[in-house]
Amino acid sequence: MAADNDARKPAADAPQPEGTTGPANGGDGAPATAPAGRPAGPEGSGDAQATAAGGPAAEAGIHPAPAGPGVTAAGTTGGERLRFVGAATRRIARGIDLDEIVLGLCRATVPTFADAILVYLRDPLPVGDERPVGPVVLRLRRTDQLPEHVRGMGEGDGPDFAAERPEPVPDLAGCAAERCEVRIGGPLAEVLRGVRPVFGDSSAARAALPELLGDDRPVPDRHRTILAPLRGRRRVIGAAVFVRRPDRAAFENDDLLVAAQLATHTALGVDKAVLYGREVYIADELQRTMLPDSLPQPTGVRLASRYLPAAETARVGGDWYDAIPLPGNRVALVVGDVMGHSMTSAAIMGQLRTTAQTLAGLDLPPAEVLHHLDEQAQRLGSDRMATCMYAVYDPVAHRIVIANAGHPPPILLHRGGRAEVLRVPPGAPIGVGGVDFEAVELDAPAGATLLLYTDGLVESRIRDVWTGIEQLRERLIETARLTGPNPPPLEPLCDEVLGMLGPGDRDDDIALLAARFEGIAPSDVAYWFLDPRPQTARQARRLARRALTRWGLEELTDSVELLVSEVITNAVRYAERPITLRLLRTDVLRCEVGDDVPQLPRLRQARPSDEGGRGLYLVNRLARRWGATRLSTGKVVWFELALPPRAR
């Protein structure tokens, strides 16, 4: 690589800037000045100086004409260098993500400071206090250089301008290796460890550049370069190579200070972007795992949901929704809202949601569920407040039981298009403590749609909550009018509901849960109470056989009689109160046996000498699915069988 002209001081005499602090100055706080003997730029070139000093054109990313021969990159005075560094660092600091920061460095330096630049970053980039294992690998993140059609413009005013075209900068994308593994103790590792930028014609850089760019891809002859390590808060995270054409003024000692400042601000920005990206990833994962990946589709009800964060840049919040299948084809519908929009709110929401799922598994009444959620919120802290709506829908009885804890009331859209705000006692928010919750039982006619939502849907800075509820009710009526006597499809209905939000009309997270009641016809249900006697198993077999005959499912008689007999026999052995037997014909045949014993049966492998213990083994082998659920009054053991093809 050719040496710079003799006007520049040797690299050994150059000041050694710190890689992380200090403005681009001479080292004592005074602005650095151009070395003696360097030709100064023309006094009248105000536009060029403004651009080089980081004026509006430079900050906007416009590529001005490069300085002519003999003119330094950032001007000829220390003040101009400071203005350039200030504008460049402001542009770099404006970036939030990794690409914006690296692009800011490239656009701020090309062509004002250099004709081309290569930016290498570690792959993978370390985050925070992580200590990477394995070798250090640098990967080419971005290259930038003056476009071919711009090169040479504005470099002269006389007729000789066309005859003095500068030598073009080769395509750096093809002159640099995409990946470089830094050898321990090698020349590149030594330069990176030194932190300070070095001239390309120094002995250290002459040995390090081939390792970085590739042995067979050297920097073109007579081009001047600066190799600047990028050091973050704790470690070197990359390197930048600044390149100038031979016809342009060589890099000077003060340009090392400029390169050091650019490298420092870029490295700190990259550190910031990596940490920000990690926080966004954690927040997104936290919110995603707190909400259900998909809703169940229990028999007798169809479900749809929506969740919108308050802002795309802060996707975490305290809103949640859930649908929990319960015994007897019932389903619990839950919507809640923890106060706040932080990761703490999301964490509290996750704990309350888990608690609600556990309580639902115990089949507690809605008011009891809210009471236990209130106790849990108080255990989490004195200021942990939340609102919640908890409802249980029974498709067999066509009824719904709802309890409210300070949440906006649900809206029921009837099949004919009428929408009503359900009168549910408001209750106090969860976390207040010492309050009772009241549940109401309402009709849930087939074809009706229940909407549970959080206050972000109906309340904002431009409208109060009751105005928003009335607007939501009117929106549902308008949507139902479009489909006539048939209820509107659930997914488009949710989209229409969210369409009522105008620009700037969303200040909070939004959780929406829609449930379309379909119910189970009474003709598809068979229900009996049986006394726990030795003859009960035979009675249960006879009743099940009659129900299957009525439904035209004789093909399932043998399997159902065997499985019912096994489950009923186990219930009779321990039950003291009447046993319930229920058969439901939907898309499958479901059998449920309930008793007053809370202990759940456990599948085990019976030994050859055991007289019992094989009943659940038969259920597990013959049934499509089976399970047992503990209730507040005992338990329910259920199993399902697939219907014959002709009966589906």
The first and second tokens of residue 176, run together, are 């640099």
CA-CA-CA-CA torsion sign (463, 467, 468, 474): negative
- Give pLDDT, residue 5: 39
- Give pLDDT, residue 45: 35
The first and second tokens of residue 11, run together, are 């690299």
- Give pLDDT, residue 313: 52
CB 49 within 8 A of CB 64: no
CB 497 within 8 A of CB 373: no
CA distance 300 to 330: 8
CA distance 594 to 635: 6
- Give pLDDT, residue 155: 40
CA distance 50 to 347: 51
Kindly give, in sequence order, each residue whose CB lies less than 8 Å from that of residue 143, ignoring residues fewer than 6 positions away: 106, 116, 117, 118, 119, 172, 173, 176
The first and second tokens of residue 97, run together, are 């993500």
Opening angle at CA 504, ends 503 and 508, nearest 5 = 125
CA distance 527 to 522: 10
Q: Mark 122-136 as b/e (b = at least 16 C-beta within 10 Å).
A: beebbeeeeeeeeeb
CA distance 542 to 310: 59
Of the candidates 115, 74, 108, the one whose C-alpha atom is nearest the C-alpha of residue 92 is 108
- Give pLDDT, residue 39: 36
* Mean per-residue pLDDT pooled into runs of 10, the chain (648 residues): 40 38 37 36 36 38 39 56 87 86 90 88 77 77 70 40 46 67 85 86 85 72 83 84 86 89 90 82 75 86 89 67 89 92 81 92 90 91 88 94 95 93 92 89 94 90 87 93 88 91 72 94 93 93 95 93 92 91 92 91 68 74 88 87 82
- Give pLDDT, residue 57: 38
How far is CA 470 from each of CA 419, 424, 520, rounded to the nearest angstrom?
10, 16, 32
- Give pLDDT, residue 35: 37
Cis, peptide link before residue 426, omega less than 30° from 0: no
CA distance 582 to 565: 13
Of the candidates 371, 381, 362, 353, the one whose C-alpha atom is nearest the C-alpha of residue 430 is 371
